[in-house]
């Protein structure tokens, strides 16, 4: 499954010369994950399985309640092995990988979508775009 998750608040640190202050920012991420389901399963059941896995993984780091997160399916397929790019920095394990972005940064959101689609969903290396 190729999903988009938005609405998580994550604690970061802001550096002001010699002092660090905690700050909370909203983040989202695109993820590609394998879920165990019957071959005839359709998106509503798959979304429920993905939501359960994501809540179990990320509820401890975000003070926003999981029901307020927006989790949507971008694409899905019935069968297929995980692309070899899963075993790279930013990937959790062999079952799924994710690309995070700050919610306020629309350009980063688009870039992470493109990166996730090419690298994790299609198993291709993302090419650098020329500066515009």
Q: What is the DSSP string of 55-123?
A: HHHHGGG-SS-GGGSEEEEEE--S--PPPGGGSSTTEEETTEEEEEEETT-HHHHHHHHHHIIIIIIS-
| Residue pLDDT tens, the chain, 132 long | 899 999 998 876 555 555 556 678 889 999 988 787 887 788 889 899 889 989 988 888 888 899 999 999 999 887 655 555 554 444 445 567 788 899 999 999 999 999 888 888 887 765 555 555
Q: What is the pLDDT of residue 106?
A: 95
CB 91 within 8 A of CB 33: no
Q: What is the pLDDT of residue 89?
A: 46
CB 46 within 8 A of CB 63: no
Q: What is the 3-state secondary structure (H, E, C) of 7-21?
A: EEEEEEEEEECCEEE
Q: What is the pLDDT of residue 123?
A: 74
Parse the chain into domains and list their residue ranges.
2-121
Quick one: tokens of 7?
């609405």
State whether the Cα torsion 9-10-11-12 is positive or negative: negative
User: How would you class 63 by CB atoms within 10 Å of its CB: exposed for 0-12, middle for 13-18, buried for 19 or more?
Assistant: exposed
Q: What is the pLDDT of residue 71?
A: 94
DSSP-derived letter for residue 132 is -
CB 77 within 8 A of CB 10: no
pTM of the model: 0.77
């Amino acid at each position: 499954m190729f999903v988009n998750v938005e609405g998580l608040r994550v604690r970061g640190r802001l550096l002001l010369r010699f002092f660090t202050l905690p700050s909370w920012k909203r983040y989202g991420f695109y993820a590609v994950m394998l879920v165990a389901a019957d071959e005839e399963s359709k998106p509503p059941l798959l979304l429920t399985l993905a939501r359960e896995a994501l809540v179990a993984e990320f509820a401890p780091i975000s003070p926003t309640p999981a029901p307020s997160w927006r989790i949507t399916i971008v694409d899905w397929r019935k069968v297929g092995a995980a692309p070899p790019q899963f075993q790279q920095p930013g990937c959790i394990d062999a079952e799924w990988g994710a690309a995070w972005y700050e919610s306020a940064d629309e350009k980063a959101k688009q870039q992470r979508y493109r990166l996730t689609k090419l690298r994790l969903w299609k198993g291709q290396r993302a090419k650098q775009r020329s500066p515009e």
